[in-house]
Chain A
Amino acid sequence: MSAIETHRDNLTSKFGMWLFLFTEMLLFGGLFIVYTIYRYKNATAFHLAAEELSVAVGTFNTIILLVSSATVAMSITAIQKHNKKIAVVLLCITILLGLVFLVNKYFEWGEHLREHIFPGSNELALRGHGDVMFYGLYYFMTGLHALHIIVGLVLLVIITISVTKEKINSEDFVFLENGGLYWHLVDLIWIFLFPLFYLIT
Protein backbone atom coordinates (compact mmCIF):
# COMPACT_ATOMS: atom_id res chain seq x y z
CA MET A 1 0.00 0.00 0.00
CA SER A 2 1.08 3.57 -0.66
CA ALA A 3 2.17 5.92 2.08
CA ILE A 4 -1.13 7.72 1.95
CA GLU A 5 -3.80 5.46 3.44
CA THR A 6 -7.21 6.14 2.03
CA HIS A 7 -9.98 5.71 4.52
CA ARG A 8 -12.32 2.86 3.78
CA ASP A 9 -15.19 1.37 5.69
CA ASN A 10 -16.19 -1.88 4.00
CA LEU A 11 -18.98 -2.76 6.40
CA THR A 12 -20.77 0.54 5.81
CA SER A 13 -20.21 0.20 2.08
CA LYS A 14 -21.79 -3.25 2.09
CA PHE A 15 -24.61 -2.15 4.34
CA GLY A 16 -25.36 0.66 1.89
CA MET A 17 -25.64 -1.98 -0.84
CA TRP A 18 -27.92 -4.07 1.38
CA LEU A 19 -30.20 -1.07 1.98
CA PHE A 20 -30.55 -0.73 -1.78
CA LEU A 21 -31.26 -4.46 -2.09
CA PHE A 22 -33.99 -4.10 0.58
CA THR A 23 -35.79 -1.55 -1.62
CA GLU A 24 -35.51 -4.00 -4.52
CA MET A 25 -37.03 -6.75 -2.38
CA LEU A 26 -39.94 -4.47 -1.48
CA LEU A 27 -40.41 -3.52 -5.14
CA PHE A 28 -40.72 -7.15 -6.23
CA GLY A 29 -42.64 -8.00 -3.05
CA GLY A 30 -45.34 -5.52 -4.09
CA LEU A 31 -45.54 -7.18 -7.49
CA PHE A 32 -45.87 -10.61 -5.86
CA ILE A 33 -48.88 -9.31 -3.90
CA VAL A 34 -50.48 -8.05 -7.13
CA TYR A 35 -49.83 -11.43 -8.75
CA THR A 36 -51.29 -13.39 -5.81
CA ILE A 37 -54.48 -11.33 -5.67
CA TYR A 38 -55.14 -11.49 -9.41
CA ARG A 39 -54.40 -15.19 -9.37
CA TYR A 40 -56.97 -15.59 -6.57
CA LYS A 41 -59.53 -13.60 -8.55
CA ASN A 42 -58.90 -15.37 -11.90
CA ALA A 43 -57.84 -18.83 -10.75
CA THR A 44 -58.86 -20.82 -13.86
CA ALA A 45 -57.46 -18.36 -16.40
CA PHE A 46 -54.15 -18.15 -14.52
CA HIS A 47 -54.03 -21.93 -14.25
CA LEU A 48 -54.53 -22.44 -18.00
CA ALA A 49 -52.21 -19.60 -19.03
CA ALA A 50 -49.41 -20.80 -16.74
CA GLU A 51 -49.56 -24.22 -18.39
CA GLU A 52 -48.56 -22.61 -21.70
CA LEU A 53 -45.16 -21.59 -20.32
CA SER A 54 -42.34 -24.04 -20.93
CA VAL A 55 -41.19 -25.65 -17.67
CA ALA A 56 -38.06 -26.95 -19.44
CA VAL A 57 -36.90 -23.46 -20.49
CA GLY A 58 -37.75 -22.11 -17.03
CA THR A 59 -35.80 -24.87 -15.27
CA PHE A 60 -32.83 -24.40 -17.58
CA ASN A 61 -32.77 -20.66 -16.86
CA THR A 62 -33.03 -21.31 -13.11
CA ILE A 63 -29.99 -23.59 -13.19
CA ILE A 64 -28.06 -21.06 -15.32
CA LEU A 65 -28.70 -18.33 -12.74
CA LEU A 66 -27.78 -20.60 -9.81
CA VAL A 67 -24.48 -21.58 -11.44
CA SER A 68 -23.69 -17.95 -12.29
CA SER A 69 -24.37 -17.00 -8.67
CA ALA A 70 -21.91 -19.65 -7.51
CA THR A 71 -19.21 -18.51 -9.95
CA VAL A 72 -19.46 -14.87 -8.87
CA ALA A 73 -19.28 -15.97 -5.20
CA MET A 74 -16.21 -18.08 -5.99
CA SER A 75 -14.53 -15.13 -7.74
CA ILE A 76 -14.42 -13.38 -4.33
CA THR A 77 -12.61 -16.40 -2.88
CA ALA A 78 -10.18 -16.25 -5.82
CA ILE A 79 -9.45 -12.55 -5.23
CA GLN A 80 -8.89 -13.19 -1.53
CA LYS A 81 -6.44 -15.94 -2.47
CA HIS A 82 -4.55 -13.44 -4.71
CA ASN A 83 -5.62 -15.47 -7.73
CA LYS A 84 -6.44 -12.77 -10.24
CA LYS A 85 -6.56 -15.07 -13.27
CA ILE A 86 -9.12 -17.45 -11.76
CA ALA A 87 -11.20 -14.50 -10.57
CA VAL A 88 -11.32 -13.06 -14.10
CA VAL A 89 -12.20 -16.45 -15.60
CA LEU A 90 -15.00 -16.96 -13.05
CA LEU A 91 -16.37 -13.47 -13.71
CA CYS A 92 -16.29 -14.08 -17.48
CA ILE A 93 -18.22 -17.34 -16.98
CA THR A 94 -20.79 -15.40 -14.93
CA ILE A 95 -21.20 -12.80 -17.67
CA LEU A 96 -21.50 -15.52 -20.30
CA LEU A 97 -24.20 -17.34 -18.30
CA GLY A 98 -26.09 -14.05 -17.85
CA LEU A 99 -26.04 -13.60 -21.63
CA VAL A 100 -27.29 -17.17 -22.16
CA PHE A 101 -30.18 -16.39 -19.79
CA LEU A 102 -31.10 -13.33 -21.88
CA VAL A 103 -30.88 -15.29 -25.16
CA ASN A 104 -33.26 -17.87 -23.70
CA LYS A 105 -35.61 -15.09 -22.63
CA TYR A 106 -35.47 -13.71 -26.20
CA PHE A 107 -36.58 -17.05 -27.67
CA GLU A 108 -39.18 -17.55 -24.95
CA TRP A 109 -40.76 -14.13 -25.50
CA GLY A 110 -40.36 -14.54 -29.27
CA GLU A 111 -42.49 -17.68 -29.09
CA HIS A 112 -45.30 -15.79 -27.32
CA LEU A 113 -45.02 -12.83 -29.69
CA ARG A 114 -45.31 -15.15 -32.71
CA GLU A 115 -48.59 -16.40 -31.25
CA HIS A 116 -49.65 -12.75 -30.96
CA ILE A 117 -49.68 -12.91 -27.20
CA PHE A 118 -48.44 -9.64 -25.80
CA PRO A 119 -50.01 -6.83 -23.77
CA GLY A 120 -52.52 -4.92 -25.88
CA SER A 121 -52.87 -7.58 -28.61
CA ASN A 122 -56.33 -8.46 -29.98
CA GLU A 123 -55.60 -12.18 -29.64
CA LEU A 124 -55.05 -11.76 -25.92
CA ALA A 125 -58.09 -9.49 -25.48
CA LEU A 126 -60.29 -12.22 -27.03
CA ARG A 127 -59.13 -14.69 -24.41
CA GLY A 128 -60.59 -12.64 -21.59
CA HIS A 129 -59.59 -10.61 -18.57
CA GLY A 130 -57.73 -13.35 -16.67
CA ASP A 131 -55.32 -14.01 -19.53
CA VAL A 132 -54.73 -10.29 -20.03
CA MET A 133 -53.80 -10.00 -16.35
CA PHE A 134 -51.59 -13.12 -16.39
CA TYR A 135 -49.58 -12.12 -19.44
CA GLY A 136 -49.46 -8.48 -18.34
CA LEU A 137 -47.85 -9.53 -15.06
CA TYR A 138 -45.72 -12.15 -16.80
CA TYR A 139 -44.21 -9.64 -19.22
CA PHE A 140 -43.83 -6.95 -16.59
CA MET A 141 -42.25 -9.09 -13.87
CA THR A 142 -39.95 -11.19 -16.08
CA GLY A 143 -39.17 -8.01 -18.06
CA LEU A 144 -38.22 -6.08 -14.94
CA HIS A 145 -36.14 -9.04 -13.86
CA ALA A 146 -34.41 -9.17 -17.27
CA LEU A 147 -33.69 -5.44 -16.94
CA HIS A 148 -31.96 -6.22 -13.64
CA ILE A 149 -29.93 -8.91 -15.41
CA ILE A 150 -28.79 -6.34 -17.99
CA VAL A 151 -27.80 -3.86 -15.25
CA GLY A 152 -26.02 -6.69 -13.39
CA LEU A 153 -24.11 -7.64 -16.55
CA VAL A 154 -22.94 -4.04 -17.08
CA LEU A 155 -21.76 -3.99 -13.45
CA LEU A 156 -19.97 -7.32 -13.87
CA VAL A 157 -18.17 -6.08 -17.01
CA ILE A 158 -16.95 -2.98 -15.12
CA ILE A 159 -15.86 -5.22 -12.23
CA THR A 160 -14.00 -7.62 -14.53
CA ILE A 161 -12.12 -4.70 -16.13
CA SER A 162 -11.30 -3.36 -12.66
CA VAL A 163 -9.93 -6.75 -11.63
CA THR A 164 -7.70 -6.97 -14.72
CA LYS A 165 -6.45 -3.42 -14.03
CA GLU A 166 -5.94 -4.47 -10.40
CA LYS A 167 -8.15 -1.69 -9.14
CA ILE A 168 -9.94 -4.53 -7.41
CA ASN A 169 -7.33 -6.59 -5.61
CA SER A 170 -6.92 -8.81 -2.57
CA GLU A 171 -6.63 -5.66 -0.41
CA ASP A 172 -9.70 -3.86 -1.69
CA PHE A 173 -12.46 -5.91 -3.26
CA VAL A 174 -15.60 -4.41 -1.73
CA PHE A 175 -16.80 -3.31 -5.21
CA LEU A 176 -16.66 -6.92 -6.34
CA GLU A 177 -18.55 -7.99 -3.21
CA ASN A 178 -21.28 -5.39 -3.79
CA GLY A 179 -21.56 -6.26 -7.48
CA GLY A 180 -21.84 -9.90 -6.44
CA LEU A 181 -24.57 -9.03 -3.95
CA TYR A 182 -26.58 -7.39 -6.73
CA TRP A 183 -26.17 -10.44 -8.95
CA HIS A 184 -27.30 -12.73 -6.11
CA LEU A 185 -30.39 -10.58 -5.58
CA VAL A 186 -31.32 -11.07 -9.24
CA ASP A 187 -30.96 -14.82 -8.62
CA LEU A 188 -33.00 -14.55 -5.42
CA ILE A 189 -35.91 -12.88 -7.25
CA TRP A 190 -35.85 -15.54 -9.96
CA ILE A 191 -36.03 -18.27 -7.26
CA PHE A 192 -39.54 -16.93 -6.49
CA LEU A 193 -40.57 -15.90 -10.02
CA PHE A 194 -39.85 -19.37 -11.42
CA PRO A 195 -42.27 -21.42 -9.25
CA LEU A 196 -44.95 -18.72 -9.34
CA PHE A 197 -45.10 -18.44 -13.13
CA TYR A 198 -43.89 -21.80 -14.39
CA LEU A 199 -44.53 -24.45 -11.74
CA ILE A 200 -47.78 -23.65 -9.93
CA THR A 201 -50.40 -24.45 -12.55
Chain B
Amino acid sequence: MENENNHIIPYKTFLIILAGLIVLTTISVILTQISLGTLTVAIALLIASIKSTLVLRYFMHLKFENRFISFATIGVILLLASVIILTLMDYLNR
Protein backbone atom coordinates (compact mmCIF):
# COMPACT_ATOMS: atom_id res chain seq x y z
CA MET B 1 0.00 0.00 0.00
CA GLU B 2 1.32 3.38 -1.01
CA ASN B 3 0.15 5.21 2.08
CA GLU B 4 2.05 2.98 4.45
CA ASN B 5 4.47 5.24 6.20
CA ASN B 6 6.70 2.82 8.02
CA HIS B 7 9.37 5.31 8.89
CA ILE B 8 9.02 5.93 12.60
CA ILE B 9 11.32 8.67 13.83
CA PRO B 10 12.49 7.86 17.37
CA TYR B 11 11.66 10.25 20.23
CA LYS B 12 15.38 10.64 20.82
CA THR B 13 15.93 12.31 17.42
CA PHE B 14 13.39 15.00 18.29
CA LEU B 15 14.91 15.56 21.72
CA ILE B 16 18.41 15.96 20.24
CA ILE B 17 17.10 18.43 17.63
CA LEU B 18 15.22 20.32 20.36
CA ALA B 19 18.40 20.56 22.45
CA GLY B 20 20.27 21.85 19.39
CA LEU B 21 17.58 24.46 18.73
CA ILE B 22 17.68 25.70 22.33
CA VAL B 23 21.50 25.91 22.26
CA LEU B 24 21.35 27.89 18.99
CA THR B 25 18.76 30.25 20.51
CA THR B 26 21.02 30.83 23.52
CA ILE B 27 24.06 31.47 21.30
CA SER B 28 22.02 33.91 19.20
CA VAL B 29 20.83 35.81 22.31
CA ILE B 30 24.33 36.01 23.81
CA LEU B 31 26.04 37.05 20.57
CA THR B 32 23.52 39.80 19.84
CA GLN B 33 23.79 41.21 23.37
CA ILE B 34 27.48 41.94 22.91
CA SER B 35 27.82 44.61 20.29
CA LEU B 36 29.29 43.32 17.06
CA GLY B 37 28.13 46.13 14.80
CA THR B 38 26.83 45.17 11.39
CA LEU B 39 27.85 41.55 12.00
CA THR B 40 25.01 41.23 14.53
CA VAL B 41 22.31 41.18 11.85
CA ALA B 42 24.22 38.63 9.77
CA ILE B 43 24.84 36.33 12.77
CA ALA B 44 21.23 36.54 13.97
CA LEU B 45 19.88 35.74 10.50
CA LEU B 46 22.41 32.95 9.94
CA ILE B 47 21.44 31.26 13.20
CA ALA B 48 17.73 31.72 12.39
CA SER B 49 18.35 30.04 9.03
CA ILE B 50 20.12 27.08 10.63
CA LYS B 51 17.28 26.76 13.14
CA SER B 52 14.61 26.86 10.45
CA THR B 53 16.47 24.24 8.41
CA LEU B 54 16.45 21.92 11.44
CA VAL B 55 12.72 22.52 11.97
CA LEU B 56 11.94 21.94 8.29
CA ARG B 57 14.07 18.79 7.93
CA TYR B 58 13.30 17.03 11.20
CA PHE B 59 10.15 18.43 12.86
CA MET B 60 8.38 18.87 9.52
CA HIS B 61 9.71 15.51 8.28
CA LEU B 62 11.13 16.85 5.01
CA LYS B 63 14.20 14.62 5.44
CA PHE B 64 12.01 11.52 5.49
CA GLU B 65 9.26 12.65 3.11
CA ASN B 66 8.99 12.29 -0.66
CA ARG B 67 11.74 14.44 -2.23
CA PHE B 68 9.12 16.28 -4.28
CA ILE B 69 7.97 18.29 -1.24
CA SER B 70 11.57 19.26 -0.39
CA PHE B 71 12.17 20.52 -3.92
CA ALA B 72 8.96 22.55 -3.85
CA THR B 73 9.97 24.05 -0.48
CA ILE B 74 13.43 24.96 -1.75
CA GLY B 75 11.76 26.55 -4.79
CA VAL B 76 9.52 28.71 -2.61
CA ILE B 77 12.47 29.74 -0.41
CA LEU B 78 14.49 30.72 -3.51
CA LEU B 79 11.51 32.67 -4.86
CA LEU B 80 11.12 34.50 -1.56
CA ALA B 81 14.88 35.17 -1.35
CA SER B 82 15.00 36.61 -4.87
CA VAL B 83 11.98 38.84 -4.22
CA ILE B 84 13.63 40.12 -1.03
CA ILE B 85 17.02 40.67 -2.69
CA LEU B 86 15.59 42.40 -5.77
CA THR B 87 13.39 44.70 -3.66
CA LEU B 88 16.31 45.60 -1.42
CA MET B 89 18.65 46.23 -4.36
CA ASP B 90 16.06 48.60 -5.77
CA TYR B 91 15.69 50.43 -2.45
CA LEU B 92 19.36 50.62 -1.52
CA ASN B 93 20.51 51.86 -4.95
CA ARG B 94 17.97 54.57 -5.62
Report A's interface with B, CB cutoff 8 A.
8-11, 14-15, 18-19, 22, 25-26, 29, 32-33, 36-37, 40, 55, 59, 62-63, 66-67, 69-70, 73-74, 76-77, 80-81, 177, 180-181, 184, 187-188, 191-192, 194-196, 199-201
Are B84 and A33 neighbours in the complex by a CB distance under 8 Å?
yes
Are B73 and A18 neighbours in the complex by a CB distance under 8 Å?
yes
Question: What is the predominant secondary structure among interface residues of chain A facing chain B?
Answer: helix
CA of A181 to CA of B56, assembled, Å:
9
B27-47 vs A, Cβ < 8 Å mask (1 yes, 0 no)? 011001100000011001101
Are A29 and B14 neighbours in the complex by a CB distance under 8 Å?
no
Known: A26-B76, A62-B25, A200-B44. A18 touches B87 (CB 8 A): no
Among A15, A25, A59, A199, chain B packs the most CB atoms within 10 A around the CB of A199
Find the A residue at minimum CB distance from B21.
Answer: A66
Known: A10-B3, A67-B18. A200 touches B72 (CB 8 A): no
Known: A77-B9, A77-B14, A200-B32. A66 touches B44 (CB 8 A): no
CA of A59 to CA of B47, assembled, Å:
14
CA of A184 to CA of B25, assembled, Å:
16
Interface residues of B, CB < 8 Å — how many? 48
Question: What is the predominant secondary structure among interface residues of chain B facing chain A?
Answer: helix
The 10 closest A-B CB pairs, nearest first, are: A195-B44, A199-B32, A70-B18, A29-B80, A80-B8, A22-B76, A73-B59, A10-B3, A66-B21, A184-B60
CA of A26 to CA of B82, assembled, Å:
12
Are B18 and A36 neighbours in the complex by a CB distance under 8 Å?
no
Give chain B residues whose Cβ lies under 8 Å from the Cβ of A180.
59-60
B20 to chain A minimum Cβ distance, whole angstroms, is: 10
Among B33, B44, B60, chain A packs the most CB atoms within 10 A around the CB of B60
Give chain A residues whose Cβ lies under 8 Å from the Cβ of B68.
11, 15
- The contact of A26 among B44, B80, B91, by CB within 8 Å, is B80
Can you spell out 22 A-B residue pairs with CB atoms less than 8 angstroms apart? Answer: A11-B66, A18-B72, A18-B73, A25-B77, A29-B84, A32-B84, A37-B88, A62-B25, A63-B25, A67-B18, A70-B14, A70-B15, A70-B17, A73-B59, A76-B9, A77-B14, A187-B59, A188-B55, A191-B51, A191-B55, A199-B28, A200-B32
